[in-house]
Amino acid sequence: MSINKVIVCDTIHQKGIEQLESENDIEVFNAAKLPKDELLEHLGGFDIAITRSSTPVNKLFLEKASSLKALVRAGVGVDNVDMQECSKRGIIVMNVPTANTIAAVEMTMAHLLASARSFTNANNDLKLKRVWKRESWYGIELCEKKLGIIGFGNIGSRVAKRAKAFGMDVVAYDPYIKPKKAIDMGVKYTENLDDILACDFITIHTPKNNETINIISDSEIDKMKNGVRLVNCARGGLYNEDALYKNVKSGKIAYLGMDVFVKEPAVNDKLLDLENISVTPHLGANTHESQEKIATQAASQAISAARGSSYPNALNLPIDESKVPSFVKPYLELVQKMGSFASQVNKASIDTIKIVAEGDISEYLESMLTFAIVGALKGSMGEHINYVNAEFVAKEKNIKTITEVTNISSAFKNSIDLYLSTDKGVTEVKGTVFGDDVQRIVRFDGFNLDIEPKGKMVIFKNTDVPGVIGDIGTILSRNGINIADFRLGRDNKNHALSVILVDNNISKEVLQELGKLATCLGVSYAVI
């Protein structure tokens, strides 16, 4: 068993550390309390690094981390990471973009409510000044007001759902989503930013890039109605702060809610001098729940990257994930896991990799093929296969690659079928994604199942007779192997297939013992 070394450079929730330490193929060093100059001397020999914003991942860091294969930024922003230098060195950079989703959504709602009812002003009057001035703080109701949302991804769409519960009329602007996403939620979709500018409330939920910096400035505010209320809990600089200051001061903007600023800490920002503003010091992700999610998701990504099974939320792949809809990204990760799973079960030289897509996901078949190839060949080629050279390597090895769109409708809105052909036969894996990011393998070699593609799995095919599950459990128990989950599928040929998720590594001896059961038709082991 190969051991993968992970270094944690900054403080993360203890649950993330515990998750790393629980994996017996992962060796973890928690260097969060080391001074940064001392940290540099400990980076050599580590395969994966987990960082937050306080560790600069610059050229010096990367020179010291000469064995680094992947970097996990435990959070969203990667301003402290030299992406170009990482790419040059072949280091895959990942972030954790969704762990703080609910926290950011609820912070937005807090600022929306504050902008409607001036809670912070009234609180300060009563608590700090001990003044009871009910007449000074008349607000407005969210109900039947129009909310414009710029950016309709994970956060923006959830804000819409909550705003609708308040009785608001919601309009969404996002050129990178399919209008159907908004329409299916009962939200008006627009391709014209002016429709957003006509709303009573406006909130923004986009990344910060050349397209979105100052997306709201003087000219846009001029088009807004008098008394508009604005909220920004995304990134500082999406709203031009000079324009905000001028228009809040004049009363054009009745109220402003801000969690983010161009320059942070924003203790001297002139916006703080204004009365009709609620401010928080970048607290969007500051909940106990989100910090735990950030840590555990970062740990999961580090484990997957260390094993080479997938690189969730990779930012410097040749495929620009920022240019594909959010619903596509989980499928890219899933199809790589499917390829890895299939190749571990069907251990032989690969002849053909074929993927068949159903639904809207079929538009991204070529991208998914790259990920499928990497997953299928990673186990045999290790670091010699990556997203850049995947198709070239497949061609060099005379592996035929096929993509196909099916018009046969299944029970799933979107699905991917992967067929891996070797001289041992064809292995079929079908996968889909439920909700935003619930990845599942739903069919394997003719058996309908429901498997989360994650962890250590024993795949056991047998004649469908009584006592098999007990026999499997007895052997695993005798070898000190704990069962975490057990999934069973059956066919119409009196066969059954079990996928057993276990907490411990499975040795060749245990597989051989399982294979000697009279009912066994085949047994294999996969780690994703």
pLDDT for position 496: 95
d(CA 295, CA 308): 20
Is the domain of 107 the same as that of 234?
yes
Is the domain of 338 the same as that of 475?
no
pLDDT for position 319: 63
Which residues, in sequence order, are bridge partners of residue 352? 400, 421
Identify the domain boundary among 316, 333, 366. Answer: 316
Is the domain of 126 the same as that of 209?
yes
**CB of 305 closer than 8 Å to CB of 72:** yes
Is the domain of 416 the same as that of 504?
no
**CB of 433 closer than 8 Å to CB of 334:** yes
d(CA 499, CA 78): 38
Report the catalytic residues.
235, 264, 282
Q: Say which CATH number the domain at 525 has.
A: 3.30.70.260
d(CA 370, CA 376): 10
Dump strand ranges (E) for 74-141: 92-95
d(CA 480, CA 134): 68
d(CA 37, CA 33): 12
Is the domain of 514 the same as that of 475?
yes
d(CA 11, CA 158): 29
Is the domain of 216 the same as that of 358?
no
Is the domain of 446 the same as that of 349?
yes
Other residues' Cβ atoms within 10 Å of the Cβ of residue 300: 18
Identify the domain containing residue 9 by its residue range.
1-97+286-316
pLDDT tens for the chain, residues 1 to 528: 689 999 999 999 999 999 999 999 999 999 999 999 999 999 999 999 999 988 999 999 999 999 999 999 998 878 789 988 887 788 889 988 888 899 999 999 999 999 999 989 899 899 999 999 898 889 999 999 999 999 998 899 999 999 999 999 999 999 877 789 899 999 999 999 999 999 999 999 988 877 889 999 999 999 999 999 999 999 999 999 999 999 999 999 999 999 999 998 999 999 999 999 999 999 998 999 999 999 999 999 999 999 887 787 787 776 655 567 878 889 999 999 999 999 999 988 899 999 999 999 999 998 899 999 989 988 777 655 777 668 878 888 889 999 999 887 778 889 999 999 988 899 999 999 998 789 999 999 999 999 999 999 999 999 999 999 999 999 999 999 999 999 999 998 999 999 999 999 898 899 999 999 999 999 999 999
H-helix segments, 149-307 = 154-165, 179-183, 193-197, 218-223, 241-250, 288-307
pLDDT for position 318: 63
Is the domain of 149 the same as that of 257?
yes
Identify the domain boundary among 450, 472, 498. Answer: 450
Is the domain of 146 the same as that of 238?
yes
Q: Provide the domain count of the chain.
A: 4
Q: Say which CATH number the domain at 2 has.
A: 3.40.50.720
Identify the domain boundary among 450, 465, 485. Answer: 450
Grouping H, G, I as helix, E, B as strand and the rest as coil, residue 363 is helix
Is the domain of 307 the same as that of 365?
no
Which residues, in sequence order, are bridge partners of residue 420? 353, 427
Chain centroid to CA 306: 17
pLDDT for position 321: 56
Other residues' Cβ atoms within 10 Å of the Cβ of residue 11: 16
Is the domain of 86 the same as that of 163?
no
pLDDT for position 155: 93
Is the domain of 358 the same as that of 462?
no
Chain centroid to CA 366: 21
